[in-house]
Chain A
Amino acid sequence: MNVLTYGEIMDCGVSVFSCVVREDAGSLFVSFTGVVRVDNPARHLGELLADLRQALPARAIVRTVIDFTELEFCNSNGFYIIMDIIEMVYAAATGPVLIRRLEEDDWQQETLPILLNLDEAEVAARTNFEEVREI
């Protein structure tokens, strides 16, 4: 599996959030880990967005998995960067998108569908959810 790009947010010298984008034989895997609490996450993840903008169109992606189950917290400033990443992935890939999310998490159950633009029929038709229960 190839790592296409990787981005992280450092806070007080410690990595608090990371996004890893991997690709393998037409499948794309995007994972979010940690917490988004900084005021301007776009400043930390600009390079990730630039990499995605360049790398994704050249790939023939037919299946995508986006994993939010390790994303512990996201402030409202983080919504926009998540939307930027999601939009790029949906635009560059064809085929179904599986969203892995936590079953008991208000953000992932209530707000994430808004960030996904799930009220757009084309997005909704491609999107499936895997509900993951925290242990």
Chain B
Amino acid sequence: MSERGVDGPGSSGSWSGLSIAATTNIGVSVTVAPIGDIRGNLATLLGQTLLDLLGMFYPPALGKKVNVAVTELIQNVMANVLDEDSALGLDLRVDADALVVRVRNKATRAQFEAVRARVDALAGCPDPKRLFTDTLRARRQDGLGGGLGLMRLVAENRFRLAVSYEQEHLTMQAAFPLLRGTP
């Protein structure tokens, strides 16, 4: 297994958590196969569904983070489908320590290396928010859309990203620390 990780910056430049009073643990797993059967906007559907679910137990800020992560990561998968007969997997876990979103899909080693390079670039960047700002403005100037998903998760939502590759499958993970009992 190969893996790379990167921390998101908190307001002080370190990875900061979200304080919540709720003690509920939640785990959700969704698998769709074959991926070629997906006709509508699955990213939107899952992001909105999980936002609604988490809204029952947690402050809106937590559900919004999950919504952004699920939407951006699944949109990335759907834009780079390698094998329409393969499966897409989504796992969400919220417990006392963290919220973790994992999205798994079939990918080539080259696709993994490309994603890993982007994660590494974020990891090596002393100021992800500056990188996000500069990239956003450059892409706008060049008339390019999107291309900001992973950067956004780090610079805006302060997720810690990790990517791994095993048995022809790429797993992208976005994690965010939670501080229980101190709302």
Contact = CB atoms under 8 A, between A and B. Distances in A.
A83 B147 CA distance: 16
A40 interface: yes
A80 B147 CA distance: 12
Contacts of A39: 145-146
A15 interface: no
Nearest to A104: B61
Interface stretch (A2-10, A24-32, A107-115): A107-115
Contact of B68 (A106, A114, A134): A106
B140 interface: yes
Given A105-B61, A106-B158, A37 B71 contact: yes
A85 B59 CA distance: 31
Interface string A50-82: 000000000000000000000001011101100
Contacts of B65: 106
A77 B155 contact: no
Max chain B C-beta neighbours (<10 A), residue from A12, A104, A106, A110? A106
Contacts of A75: 71-72, 75, 146
A37 B41 contact: yes
B149 A76 contact: yes
B15 to A, nearest CB: 14
B86 to A, nearest CB: 23
B158 A114 contact: no
